[in-house]
Chains A and B, each alone.
Chain A
Amino acid sequence: MLPLFLLALLGAPTLGANVPAVSTQSGPVVVRAGQIHTVDGGRIVNDGYMLIEGGLIRFVGANQPIPPHAHVVDYGPDAVIVPGFVAAGSALAEGAPSARTAEPSLKALDGFDFYADQTDALAGGVTSAYITPARGRLIAGQAAVVKLAEPSPGGRVLRAPAAIHAAISAEARRTPGYWEPPVPATSDVGLGVPLEQLPRSLMGAVLAINELLDGVAANRPVEAYGPFAVRDLAPLVDAKTPWRVTAFAEEEVRALIAVAVARRLPLIVDGAHHAGELGEALAAAKAGVVYEMPFIPGRAGRDRGVDAEEPEPRLDVPARLRAAGVPVAFSVPSAVPLRDLRLAAILGSRGGLSSADALRGLTLTPAEFYGVADKVGSLAQGKHADFAVFSGDPLDAASSLRATWVGGELAFEPPAGRGTATVIRAEELHLGDGEVMRPGEVLVQDGRIVEVGERVGRPLGSVVVSAPAAMPGIIDLSSRLGLEGGRRTPATDFRLGQIVAPGDRAARAVARAGVTTVVLDPPGNTNTGVPMMAYRPAAESFEGMVVADPVGLRFAWTDGNRARSGVAVREALAKAVEYQKRWVEYREKLAAWKPTPTPPEVVLPEPPKEEAAKPEAAADEKKEDAPKEEEKKPARRKGKDEPKPVDPDPVTGIWTAKVERPPLEEATALRMQLQLADGAVMGFLRAEALAEGLVEVRGHFTDGKLTLTGIGSEGLLHITGAIEEAKLTGEITLGATLIALVAERTTRDYPVAKRSQPAAPEPAAEEPKDKPKEPRADPRLEPLRLALEGKAAVFVEVTRADEIEACVDAFAAVGIKPILVGADDAHLIVDRLYGRVAGVVLSHEVIESRPEDGVLRRNRYADLQRAGIRVGFHSGAADGARDLPLMVAYAIAQGMSPVSALRAMTSDAADMLILSDRIGRLAPGLFGDVVLLDGSPLDPRSQVLRVVVGGKEVK
């Protein structure tokens, strides 16, 4: 029985054994990435995952199903996971050395600050480091290996002592004389003189090591090194603690090998810049090498002089040593932060080291040197879950770090928000205007495209997303998305930005289909034009949502009574021209106007006597009056300020509250935006508990009491309450339900989600009288004025050929190129339209068949585009906008040129809307809205894989 039981224990379980003392993770975590370099036997797992539990790795591989209850963190198919780097040397615990030349009792752990923030090292993927208490001594002390992040300070020690930190290079030969002042010094006890301390030469250093080892062997102190050097060294030597000795020059390394071989020391050579020739000798001595990067980044180049004796540091040393069978680990000079450790290995590869060896030198090799390979340095079952995630091959300098994990917990992630960067990499990058890059990359930072090219930069923390193909986000030229079923036709001066809110589910669904910009086109028509807005449904903030509000106006040319067709439009245009003229005149006047110099406002306390003597008495009187007025003014102002200021507008702004509705257990958020004007209040309300969508509310505010009424999804909704100091207390009546409401005003602004347009400068309080007066702004005519200036679009619904022609003529007369909507007969007069319209938005019927007119099957989109007239696609639906790509696919299937179709849904649409500086192409400065596909966008079979809006994937 017993053997069987034992077998079972040995076989099943390393899973349950080994639970670490510092277990913080509650449940298992699965981390996925395209590649996992385990370094354990050079194994690379593709498309696999790593299962972590209790801070340890339970499984690395691909061939097992992911445990269903695990929390999955997926870094995507381009990410590469490597073991957390082990810095083979660091200055993290370094301080002033002790007075003695050999001080084996000095402990690195005493010098290490367990509470210190090691973000700098973690930001380079370094999770463990060798620490030394000091340097610059023959034996500086006991080194240790620590982890750089761990919840409990005690849990950070991996091994102590890990090595005897020694040096025979020049730094160890400058130890000052040893002097201990006697207390008290008297006439009998002199102050003494410093005692010379060895070594002063390489020879002396070798001798000193030999003397100390002899002392250890004979168990007697060696006077020259103080009374306790041998006593403190003996246990380290007995425990076969490795000697990590700094030696740079070839002769230093050679001397060291000789000592190590003779005394059988476990040796690790540190520095070794010139040890390239000594590979075999080092291998024979079973020594390891910590190769210190011979370069300090972030400084001017280092002049080494013309001395022929000074050997060149060579980058091929690691490769040559490795070829001879010497294990090589990497370190950086003490002036270099640990986050640059990866660069040491990259330079090693530059010298010919294989990728596998370079990566091993950052991970498993140093862990083996210091006896911590059973815990860190590779990714295998039972090891600590310390690893780094890179955006690509970690030995590619262009890859950047995405995350560092220590003990199964996220220890570092490049800070989000500031400078979040996304690199989109596609085998086939369609820029939107017909140009294609193969391959191509787009760098999006802070929501905007900053670089487009075959290879772009990868800032720290950048996420690389790759796909077979990518194209700009699709533009829907007419959609109802955001109206939430509203059928009202808004007034011309209504700003649609007020009614959209980020985070809408339907909006995200549309964006996921690839439609990243929609033109919100309310139903109905008015004589003065219906406002339209271009917005990005998947943007995460109000500011990011609105691309242009208004993007333009829509008119209807065609009237039911043909005689009246175009009358309203002509009137509107005439008014707009008149209106614009006033502005043009004003600008001309303003440009011509020169301010008359104002007399300096110097008030003389008393007129000089000479002047007073002059006969003009009237002039004198005036002068006396002036100062009096000046005195009065400030006094009056002061008086005005005295009464306690009353909040002039206690209502306008955003109000938030938590609403508890009895059947629902949790309180849900309520958000109201209200605007007060002459006692009347209007605005919008959004509360999941009360209504599904946005509710328009109207009411009034008198004597501190607020009354609002709106129609929610469950009928009429009343809000009554009192406002006192930015706090609204009252109740909501919804049918028969009464809900208590306590709302707070979070901001006084009435946030209209629109781009901050440079508002017309408010006239300064005291404008000179002769300055030209600004014409009164008319918000209803403002969009047309912008259109007249070529800054906004005008959509016109028009059908018949003669009407189209009349319409285009009318617009041409005022210099506007309209976008024709509908335009059934446009193909008949393409020559009359060419160059005179911004584009045409046809109805959804791609194919026209009119056998009676001899037209059998005609692709209306293709025909117009072939004639050089831009066409655009539109959904005409709310969440149905997601069907837009299918409409395009159909148009292609029916013979439209795929290249033209791509242009029609991206750059042509943007050009029509006069938004080509924001959307429609992949070019620096534009919004980072990109659609990733599994194949060419020109192939209707390709489907959308991922959609990135403002650099962030829409999920």
Chain B
Amino acid sequence: MIQSIRFDRFLPAALVSALLVAAAPEAVAQKLVIEAGRIVQDASTEITDGIIVVEGGRIVAIGRQGEVEKPWDAPVVGGPEFVAFPGFVEAHSNRGMDRPNENIDVAPFLDVRDSIDPINLYFEDCRRWGMTTVNIQQGNNCVVGAQGRIVRPVGLTIEEMTVRPGYGLKLSAAAKSGKSAATQAQALRTAFEDLRRYLEGIVQDAKDGGDKARREAMFQGRDLTGEKATGRAMGGNTWKVEGLELIPRGAIDEKQAPLLDLVEGRGTAFIWCGSPRDVHLALEIARTHGFLDRTTLVLDPSCWKAADVVAESGVAVVLEAPLVHIERDPLTGEETETFVPGVFAQKGVRFALSSQNSSSNSLWFQAARAIGLGLDRKTAIDAVTRVPAEILGLGDQVGTLAVGRLANVLLLSGDPLANDAWVQHAIIEGEMVYDRAKDVRNKYLIDGIEPMGVEGALDASRAGAR
């Protein structure tokens, strides 16, 4: 595995926004008009019989038929039978990678870009189920894991898919396999202690007139020009190493840099909590090292017990499936069921639902079930659109349909949370990426129509299997 590690550095904010507005890879249609009998802009705003005008991948106009001018040269999709809905946003997923976990405990230098597999069926599922923005993070089995990446489920290269690279560092407060809760906590704390000791070491070396860090970086052939050639005093609002300005930023060990970003207030963190007690550790680490305001907790259902602590900390959370936590009384054998999103909603915690579920890959299903279990419709819809978009720092880009937002639009055959409604078309940044009429896998499964060019091949393989 070690050979495959590619050191990816943090990209300055300017570059990130440049990537965001990057034109669609195939410049098929600069303009697009989407018509729908009902447009659900967000959980509380709807337009009947409306149109969405898209230009350059963004929504430029949205309103009722007749009130919004349709460009004469734009192709039109949709029609009165469709319901338009913002693309679902997945705030945290471990899928779409060749393997989700690494075996090194503390590995912030890793990047999921080296593991994402663009032709993974997961991304096809995402299009089919209308998930247009996905945050890929390392699996939960880690202490400090890799840097994540926000992608759109379309494209043949990782660059084409990328919405925002190097987004979010994965940490785990739950014991990694082979560790106990105590050794996990120790390892998490030690990771930051090591960072501090390392920084103090190179600063001391520089003060002593040494040049170890820079020479090491040059030896590794790293970029030491421009901004990276200069040093900067340590930022952040918790602990500081005095004299860090003596060290050119490019000379700081890439193994430590992502953690330093967290402490300095630049990076964001996703911390996995497998049980309520892990929530305490996760919040302690985030507080001690000054990144609580940029932390999202990824919670196991049992963590509803720590909902008060979460609410008090003000962090947003991603709720992993299942939605109902079942507990058995050790003496009476009675089972108690707790509807997890309900608890968090009651405590006023912002939460996103996650599609990761053994029985389904879709967010609409999770949201619909949450409503069935007692959540109100607005909160449920927000939990799969607006809130995850905000968690990913894309609140002004995706998750809702409004002028200036990216044109991530689903055209559904009915209400977005209805059991019998399908995604007919998925449009990402103005580009049609999914058409149910052309979904060969779906056709084969539902109608038994074999894809072109494989006549008899499937039967033959089945016969072989028999």
Contact = CB atoms under 8 A, between A and B. Distances in A.
Interface residues of B, number: 28
B66 to A, nearest CB: 48
A718 B283 CA distance: 65
A97 B179 CA distance: 8
B442 interface: no
B182 interface: yes
A96 interface: yes
B360 to A, nearest CB: 29
Contact of B255 (A105, A117, A134, A183): A183
Interface stretch (A106-114, A485-493, A530-538): A106-114
A107 B306 CA distance: 21
A286 B183 CA distance: 33
A133 B180 contact: yes
Given A183-B255, A185-B2, A95 B182 contact: yes
B331 interface: yes
A184 interface: yes
B252 interface: no
Interface string A180-206: 010111000000000000000000000
A contact patch SS: loop
Contacts of A112: 181, 277
B229 interface: no
Interface string B211-228: 000000000000000000
B262 interface: no
Contacts of A123: 331
Most chain B CB atoms below 10 A, which of A103, A110, A113, A181: A110
B20 interface: no
Given A110-B185, A123-B331, A96 B179 contact: yes
Contacts of A415: 331-332
A418 interface: yes
Nearest to A417: B332
Contacts of B181: 93, 95, 110-113
B22 interface: no
| A-side interface size class | 20 to 34
A133 B182 contact: yes
A175 B109 CA distance: 31
A212 to B, nearest CB: 18
Nearest to B332: A415
Nearest to B106: A183
A460 B183 CA distance: 38
A120 interface: yes
Contacts of B330: 117, 119-120
Given A113-B275, A117-B330, A105 B2 contact: no
A593 interface: no
B175 interface: yes
A181 B102 CA distance: 14
A115 interface: yes
Contact of B178 (A96, A141, A414, A418): A96
A153 interface: yes
A98 interface: yes
Nearest to B276: A115
Contacts of A108: 182
B233 interface: no
Contacts of B275: 113, 115
B122 to A, nearest CB: 29
A111 B276 contact: no
A111 B2 contact: no
Contact of B180 (A96, A114, A115, A117): A96
A96 to B, nearest CB: 4
Contacts of A113: 181, 275-277
A110 B276 contact: no
B183 A418 contact: no
B104 interface: yes
Most chain A CB atoms below 10 A, which of B179, B255, B305, B331: B331
A185 B104 CA distance: 12
A940 B306 CA distance: 63
B238 interface: no
A103 to B, nearest CB: 8
22 contacts: A95-B179, A95-B181, A95-B183, A98-B186, A103-B186, A105-B186, A106-B183, A106-B186, A107-B182, A107-B185, A107-B186, A110-B182, A111-B181, A111-B182, A114-B277, A116-B277, A123-B331, A133-B182, A134-B183, A184-B2, A185-B2, A415-B332
Interface of A: 93-98, 103, 105-108, 110-117, 119-120, 123, 133-134, 141, 153, 181, 183-185, 414-415, 418
